Structure 1
Amino acid sequence: MFDYQLWFGFALSVVVFLSTPGPVTVMVANHGASDGLMASLCTVIGTNLASLVLIGVSLLVLFGVVGIDERWLSALTLVGSLYIIYFAFSILTELKQVSQLSLYKHQADRQGLITHIKQGFLVGIANPKDVLFFIGFFPLFFGVAESKAVAATALTITWVVLDYAILLVYAYLFSKICKPKFIKLTMLISALLLLGLGAVGVIKSVMDFW
């Protein structure tokens, strides 16, 4: 027996959560504006792989397979936040070096696309505190099926599909705007937002650790 009403509530909650701008959304928008649709799609692949890893760890904790150490998570969050700050500065560096952004859009080579996947994964995995979110969020909807395994599978698939769908919308919209001024503005705003999010992550992780 599958509870479609509860599942719909889960799906709606995920849409609201994923639509809220965060490091992943900001990065996908930035890559779409500066490097084109294919680069942004590769970024989405990387971020989604990171989500699967975090969900997998969360389910292992929920099913009692592994334990979780708050201080260890705080240390990893600090490292992840520092990487987000580093990535923000790399955007600012790229912005200074590029004068005709609209001319090189959609021209990322294979190596560049792999780099975007790696960057997407690293930024996606950069906040292991998401494990705690999944631990607290998923169990609320385990009632969608009688078996927890079936419920976890259904919820994970739903998350992955919605994650791809929402981020692909961001990727498509920002990749279609080719005005150099808009691209530069998007890159600048992306860098500043990532700097802010990274700084908040550093402060919070240090406070949590101590």
Structure 2
Amino acid sequence: MEDLTKQPDFGYLAELVTARRIVAPGASCLAESRPSLALIESGIVMRYSLLEDGRRQIEGLLYPGDLCGLCESVIGGRGSYYEAVTALEISLLDPADARLRNCSGEHPAEHLLWLLAREVVLLSQWIASVGQRNAPEGIAWFIHHVWQRAEEAGMILRSTAPFPFSQQVVADVLGLSLVHTNKTMRRLSEEGLFRISRGRVQVPSHAQLRQAAAL
């Protein structure tokens, strides 16, 4: 069995692609009528749950190399919603393809287990932020998370990370009101914790950001 502490090489997924799509910002990434699985080639996606009255809880961000619809394709049924935050390029996969679940081939099903385990680890921090971090800690944590994910995806440019998120998105991540989010983000920015401009964020001191986020 391969070492699952290291990220597997998912290059072979290119052989399983059934179609490619361009998705506009704000559009759904997956068809709701049937189980779907998509590999993000470029762009950023948010995953969220939706209540009947329209309120939403954002559960995570997905970056290039991540799979949309993984949990739903494994267990079936309606799970989370996936919405493009930026323009996307995605590759569609057939969740019923036996090669994705092959336990004896060169690319075993443990690769899907690795991705599912990573989702659980990332989700644990989201839960901690919603349930325990106060507003300044939560916002600092979100900025840190966005930077970390962008760095993993090779999206850091001139010491800035993509930040295409409205304050409403930040509020929906942390369960805060929009007014409280606006005031807190403005205060943290004035204190020099981060700078957001033209859809990108700069962090002068990552040590201070982690400390502010209670990390």
Does the alignment reach a TM-score above 0.5?
no
Select the structure that is richer in strand: 2
Select the structure that is richer in helix: 1
With normalisation by structure 1, the TM-score equals 0.31
With normalisation by structure 2, the TM-score equals 0.30
